[in-house]
């Protein structure tokens, strides 16, 4: 069986729905879709009454309205869900709705919205603390079965991953600390599926809304699928859907043979 897994920072699920989210679902037909930055509370979502026909929904909003949050959509008929968990069990991170975990027979699927360190780097320590806790969490899961982790990591790892690296050294998303943490993730046995499959390809997943950055393709690759080495051999394709509009990010994905 081949599964199509997608990850997308929608920058507000309500805005994304207005901007063609439903068409993307119908066109791409992902088996599992991890969403980040949903920016909606449970109460507001219930009032909105989204119609994602054919998908089971898991929502993990932030306590703060209109901020952060994650969600997972999964096709009802393909995979048996063993367990679902919201958060990592750490209150300072879990109140922002940043992590979701679905356990399947052969792997864990972890959907994550990593903190933004902010332009003035006011949240850099919060982010590096989150990164350390997240890696520890992933390694605990791996003791039982492989992990497929997706999300907006809010970091461009190498210079190839952003259009203007020299201009952004030390800026949020391209600090030494954030890049070192991504290096640490890979050193601890996680595989950047896109870079493993597309070693020299230049492609981005996020563009600023300013200065026509997307039209000019002045972007960053900050959305990833990382997998345990054990399951990476089953990844048949890793891709970026940079022609999909509706957010300042575009979806990224993998095809997995199970």
Q: Which residues are catalytic?
A: 152
Residue 75, beta-bridge partner list: 55
DSSP string, the chain: -EEEEEEEE-SSHHHHHHTTHHHHHHHH--SEEEEE-----HHHHHHH----TTEEEEEE--SSTTS--EEEEEETTT----EEEES-S-HHHHTTT-EEEEE-SS-EEEEEEPPP--TT-TTHHHHHHHHHHHHHHHHHHHTTS-EEEEEE-----SGGGBS-HHHHTTSTTS-HHHHHHHHHHHHTTEEEHHHHH-TT----SEE-SGGGTTTTT-EE--EEEEEEHHHHTTEEEEEE-TT--SSSB--EEEEEE-
Looking up tokens 């003791």 gives 143
- CB atoms under 10 Å from CB of 54, counted, come to 12
Asked if 55 and 74 count as a contact pair (C-beta separation under 8 A), the reply is yes
Looking up tokens 């309500």 gives 14
Looking up tokens 């599926």 gives 193
């Amino acid at each position: 069986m081949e599964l199509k897994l997608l990850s997308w920072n929608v920058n507000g699920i309500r805005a994304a729905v207005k901007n063609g989210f439903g068409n993307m679902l119908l066109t791409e037909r992902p088996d599992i879709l991890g969403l980040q930055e949903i920016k909606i509370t449970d109460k507001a979502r219930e009032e909105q009454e989204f119609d994602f026909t054919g998908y089971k929904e898991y929502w993990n909003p932030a306590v703060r309205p209109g901020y952060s949050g994650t969600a997972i959509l999964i096709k009802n008929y393909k995979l048996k869900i063993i367990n679902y968990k919201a958060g990592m069990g750490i209150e300072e991170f879990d109140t922002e709705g940043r992590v979701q975990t679905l356990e399947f027979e052969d792997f864990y699927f972890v959907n994550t919205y990593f903190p933004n360190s902010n332009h003035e780097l006011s949240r850099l320590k919060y982010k590096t603390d989150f990164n350390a806790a997240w890696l520890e969490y992933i390694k605990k899961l791996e003791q039982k079965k492989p992990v497929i982790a997706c999300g907006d990591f809010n970091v461009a790892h190498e210079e190839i991953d952003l259009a203007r690296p020299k201009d952004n050294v030390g800026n949020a998303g391209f600090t030494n600390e954030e890049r070192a943490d991504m290096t640490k993730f890979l050193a601890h046995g996680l595989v950047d599926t896109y870079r493993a499959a597309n070693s020299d390809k230049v492609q981005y997943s996020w563009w600023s809304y300013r200065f026509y950055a997307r039209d000019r393709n002045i972007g960053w690759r900050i959305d990833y699928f990382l997998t345990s080495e054990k399951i990476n051999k089953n990844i048949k394709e890793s891709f970026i859907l940079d022609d999909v509009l509706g957010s300042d990010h575009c979806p990224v994905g993998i095809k997995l043979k199970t």
